[in-house]
Amino acid sequence: MKITETDIPGLLVIEPKVFEDDRGYFYESYNERVFAEHGLDMRFVQDNESRSGRDVIRGLHYQLAPHAQAKLIRVLEGAIFDVAVDMRRNSPTYKRWSGIEISAVNRLQVLVPKGCAHGFRVVSTTATVFYKCDEFYHPRSERGILFSDKALGIDWGIEPGIAVVSEKDRKAPVFADADNNFIFDQI
């Protein structure tokens, strides 16, 4: 398993070692020991899965501390453009976003740290997204940021008016008005 840091501290891209032959393929998508060897001491407590059609944007979602979640995201079918926004005050990358295409073909995974908002756009006909969380869903702590916030300047590769977005996500506040209790190195 190859673990690569991005420009946002704690936001990691994970590339599993895939074994393929005429029967198909096999890979280890998660191994607690390997994560610990890379300083990633976390315990996942909840798995989530979603299926969406082309041009659906889900996000940008997060939970306030102390219920903030780290998420390990992978795609079981199709492809997505996966985005994380650093919300941690005092972070060297505060208010910056990072995006990467992950798919069932490239088998990349993304580890989104606590204190980052997360979202994705489906770039294939459909996509099934699976992710592990290190904290349980906590409805009272659930928050969002408007996916099309001009101050963030996220290039989703689609015009906001064409994207298929839930009413809740369309009504989310911009970054400047979003609830935020994250401080870098304290979450």
Catalytic-labelled residue, pool 25, 30, 61, 62: 61
Indicate if 27 belongs to the active site: no
Distance CA 84, CA 60 (A): 8
Burial class (CB in 10 A: 0-12, 13-18, 19+), 162: exposed
Catalytic-labelled residue, pool 30, 67, 118, 131: 131
Closest among 172, 45, 177, 66 to 119, alpha carbons compared = 172
53 and 125 Cβ atoms separated by less than 8 Å: yes
Indicate if 118 belongs to the active site: no
Distance CA 181, CA 187 (A): 9
Closest among 59, 90, 85 to 163, alpha carbons compared = 59
88 and 68 Cβ atoms separated by less than 8 Å: no
> Catalytic positions, please?
61, 131
